[in-house]
Structure 1
Amino acid sequence: MDEIELFRRLGLALAIGLLFGLERGWHARDEAEGARAAGLRTFALAGLFGGVCGWLAPIAGPIFLGFALLALTALVALSYWAQIRGQDDLGMTTEVALLLTFALGAAALLGDMAAAAAAAVAGTALLSLKHVLHDRIARIQRFELDALVRLAVISVVILPLLPRRGFGPGETLNPYELWWAVVLVAGLSFLGYVAMRLAGARVGAVITGVLGGLASSTSTTLALSQLVRNDQKLGPLLAVGTVLAGSVTFLRVLAVGTVFSPQLFDSLAPPLVAMAVTGFAGAGLLALSAGRQPRTETDLERLSNPLALGAALSFGAVLVVVVLGTYYLQLWFGEGGVYAAAAVSGLTDVDALTISVAKLSRGDLALSSAAMAIVLAVSVNTVVKGAIALVIGGTGFGLRVLAVYAAVLAAGATAIGLGF
């Protein structure tokens, strides 16, 4: 590399050390001079040391960099041993940060500068968030940790092991996709719990509703209904999140359908936009109504199952039945079974049906018929979500959701009547 590039990289290595040193120096600002394990100058020198070693590594060989890190580790270990003698504080944060500073300094010379700088900022942020992170950890309950571990097992361990190809009739049963539905329901259940735990029930319900609508409003409805089943006081607030999820779905379906068939937009937009606007208005009214309800336990102390794994597995079983039913309807009735397939698909999720019908609309299927099939699917799906809210979440919660969804369906029917 030329001299300008070398100085730029050495400057970054020094800046990384200064960044870490600034945070560590401020953290130990009340300690007496000489009592600090490492301060601004030490971290700056460690970053620059890493940069110089990275500069010399191509000349002296890669083993040189390893010996340099080993030497610094020995010095840090010796300093740590001296610090803990006669002290009760056994923390190693500063020592680990010092080693990281050296490594990032070397990376600034040998690797991508942007990545090294980003890692330095991330590391400094973790150091500065000590009290926030410790406070959050202290508030975590045992069942919440167990739920997080279970979610990690079903998503990170089991899901990648499943085959991503179809089995059974028409190869319609894809183990990966079916288990992904289980993970989605369980994950949204946990997401809803965490969002409400961090932001409070009101804001958490809105966050979960919007994000859930972008992923799967059916799964979101199932997850939020499970939370309401555990604590009925959450019903008025979670009804807002449930309706928001359903309303976002209408816009998501419109976007998906338009991507696969742009000419479908004019026929599909009027009913779906009308349904979305009505749903958002209904969610607003539910939010105003919930504001007059008695104060809810926003810390969710009464909830003991943030990961509704049983409900997620039940959803997966139902999904298998619906997938097979849709396959046979299409097989037996051909194009005449499009509406029947749309109605059946609406029992679970509408994305697959939307894509399929949008592709057909580029061929022999009329645009009006394609739009009607998609609206039928989302309408059936809306009814199903209302039924889920009623059966699982209870009467009070279910009636709130169904009242808005009745207006949504009426708005869609009106738009269809005017548009077609």
Structure 2
Amino acid sequence: MAMAYSELEPLLMSVAVGAIVGLVNEYRKITGSRIFLGLRTSIFTSMLGYVFALLYEKAGYLLLGVAFISITVIAATIYVERARATRSLGATTYVSMFLVFASGILVGMGMYLQGTVISVLVAVLSFYKTQLLNAISRIRREELLALLNLLVISLVILPLLPDKFIGPLGIFNPYEFWFTVVVVAIIFFAQYVTLRVSKRGLLAFTIIGGLISSTTVTLSLIQLSNERREASRSLALNTLLSNVPLALIQVLAAIYFTTYSAQLAAIVAVPTMLIALVLTLLGAIKFKELSPTNIEPPSTPLPILRIVEFAVLLFIITSVAKAIGVLFPSLLPITIFVSALGNALGAVIAVGILYNRSIITLKVAAQLALLSLTAGVIEKAFLSLLSSSWSYRRLVIAGSAALGAFTAVLMYLLGVA
């Protein structure tokens, strides 16, 4: 019985992959769509593919050619007749027929996963056809250009760059530099999409942007505070909450993945996680205030110049910190602190590189990483002075001062101050 089932399993799978598409199309027929690829036709098409797959084992590749010629003739005949009757030249259903047929062949060859995935994708794309067209119709020209630019810099330019260190002292790696550009570009675009899709997406905008630069997020929030004074309190709370990804990602995650030192990460984890916990509790208490309505997205979906500037700044910070760590180690804390005021992530990466090269000790590395966190926190107080909203400035300055003092106390208690 077990053997009999194993022999029938491919046939049953071919029926299943056809039924997935057929059931969806039958539902679409009920709602008024004109589709010839219903339940029975879908199952017959996938089973036909299964039969050709069985015959392929006997006749080889020549039969696969015959198979696709056959399905082409069948689909073309139906397409012509339907086009005459309905005066519609849409070919989506006919392409679906080819894919269902191919799914049946894949199942017959034992590639169940590939056949099933194709069938599911055909069903999903068919079902959400209207929603996809509506979404596409709402895309603006600048958004499409931004998406195309993102694809170019990530899928075209990045693979072409050499992954090796060049230049004086071998400090520049073209691939690593451009990879930073790609990551920053993705996050900028994700921020834009968040506010574009949801007018209450300000908190997500803050957290996503804070993954790479809480400074950039703060400047964006300050600009919004000047335009939307009635939302100053919400924008100030978001500014303080941008310290959560600063602590967990830019400091804790960055120091670990730069050094892979569990001991160093354990020291840094205590202050960073406590700060994140305190801010998360604040966010939970004030959750309703965090995402006011009708906050417009940035005017540019993908600000290329700002993205490249960020990558250049990151490169300069790490390069200068490495040079000072070797030539003037006594000035390193000042250098890291000042660097972190502009880019905490770059400062922490520089600390990790110095630790990997045994230029600084474990204790010094932990001290400098937490010093970067402190700088990243208190810089928001200085940046808030750019806001014309007194309510925004007052809340950000008070919150940043409290968090900075809390970090300093934790550093002292841990013996790394």
Report TM bin, short chain: 0.7 to 0.9
Q: How does 1:312-327 map to 2 (within 5 A)?
A: 312-327=307-322
* Identity %, equivalent residues: 28
Residues 17, 43 of structure 2: 8 Å contact kept: yes
**1:276–1:366 distance in 2 versus 1, CA, 3 Å:** same
| C-alpha deviation, 1:404, in angstroms | 3.4
Residues 218, 239 of structure 2: 8 Å contact kept: no
**1:53–1:371 distance in 2 versus 1, CA, 3 Å:** same
Select the residue among 330, 349, 352 that pairs with 2:349.
352
Moved more, 176-185 or 381-390: 381-390
Q: Which residue of 1 aligns with 2:406?
A: 411
Q: Which residue of 2 aligns with 1:106?
A: 105
Say whether 1:154 aligns with 2:153.
yes
Structure 2 distance, partners of 1:230, 1:45, is 64
Q: Which residue of 2 aligns with 1:343?
A: 337
SS of 2:328's equivalent in the other structure is: helix
Q: Which residue of 2 aligns with 1:205?
A: 202
**1:386–1:17 distance in 2 versus 1, CA, 3 Å:** farther
Q: Which residue of 1 aligns with 2:217?
A: 221
Q: Give the TM-score normalised by the residue count of structure 1.
A: 0.83
Q: How does 1:19-98 map to 2 (within 5 A)?
A: 19-29=20-30, 36-85=35-84, 87-98=86-97
| C-alpha deviation, 1:241, in angstroms | 5.1
Structure 1 distance, partners of 2:247, 2:89, is 55
What is the one-letter code of the residue matched to 2:81? Answer: A
What is the one-letter code of the residue matched to 1:20? Answer: V
| C-alpha deviation, 1:249, in angstroms | 3.2
**1:156–1:51 distance in 2 versus 1, CA, 3 Å:** same
Q: Which residue of 2 aligns with 1:13?
A: 14
Q: Which residue of 2 aligns with 1:272?
A: 272
Structure 1 distance, partners of 2:235, 2:379, is 17
For the aligned residues, what is the CA RMSD? 3.4
What is the one-letter code of the residue matched to 2:252? Answer: L
Deviations 1:127-147 (A, max 9, x none): 111122122112112221122
Say whether 1:262 aligns with 2:262.
yes
Deviations 1:145-187 (A, max 9, x none): 1221122222222222222212223211112222222223332
Structure 1 distance, partners of 2:365, 2:194, is 37
| C-alpha deviation, 1:48, in angstroms | 0.8
Deviations 1:337-356 (A, max 9, x none): 65356436534325524543
Structure 2 distance, partners of 1:313, 1:256, is 20
| C-alpha deviation, 1:95, in angstroms | 0.9
Where does structure 2 lack aligned partners over 5 or more consecutive residues? none
**1:118–1:344 distance in 2 versus 1, CA, 3 Å:** farther
Structure 2 distance, partners of 1:398, 1:69, is 66
Residues 237, 287 of structure 1: 8 Å contact kept: no
Q: Which residue of 2 aligns with 1:247?
A: 244
Say whether 1:381 aligns with 2:368.
no
| C-alpha deviation, 1:118, in angstroms | 2.4
Deviations 1:258-286 (A, max 9, x none): 67222335532332223223333454577
**1:43–1:80 distance in 2 versus 1, CA, 3 Å:** same
**1:312–1:401 distance in 2 versus 1, CA, 3 Å:** farther
| C-alpha deviation, 1:251, in angstroms | 2.4
**1:237–1:370 distance in 2 versus 1, CA, 3 Å:** same
Select the residue among 305, 312, 317 that pairs with 1:310.
305
| C-alpha deviation, 1:49, in angstroms | 0.9
SS of 1:313's equivalent in the other structure is: helix
Residues 21, 123 of structure 2: 8 Å contact kept: yes
| C-alpha deviation, 1:254, in angstroms | 3.0
Select the residue among 365, 372, 380 that pairs with 1:370.
365
Structure 2 distance, partners of 1:162, 1:226, is 37
**1:231–1:71 distance in 2 versus 1, CA, 3 Å:** farther
**1:58–1:266 distance in 2 versus 1, CA, 3 Å:** closer
| C-alpha deviation, 1:221, in angstroms | 2.4
Structure 2 distance, partners of 1:316, 1:398, is 29
SS of 1:28's equivalent in the other structure is: helix
Structure 1 distance, partners of 2:38, 2:289, is 55
Q: Give the TM-score normalised by the residue count of structure 2.
A: 0.83
| C-alpha deviation, 1:60, in angstroms | 1.0
SS of 1:173's equivalent in the other structure is: coil
Structure 1 distance, partners of 2:162, 2:52, is 46
Structure 1 distance, partners of 2:215, 2:151, is 18
**1:141–1:159 distance in 2 versus 1, CA, 3 Å:** same
| C-alpha deviation, 1:380, in angstroms | 2.6
Residues 23, 38 of structure 2: 8 Å contact kept: yes
Structure 2 distance, partners of 1:312, 1:14, is 50
Structure 1 distance, partners of 2:100, 2:29, is 18
**1:14–1:311 distance in 2 versus 1, CA, 3 Å:** same
SS of 2:65's equivalent in the other structure is: helix
| C-alpha deviation, 1:104, in angstroms | 0.9
Structure 2 distance, partners of 1:235, 1:149, is 35
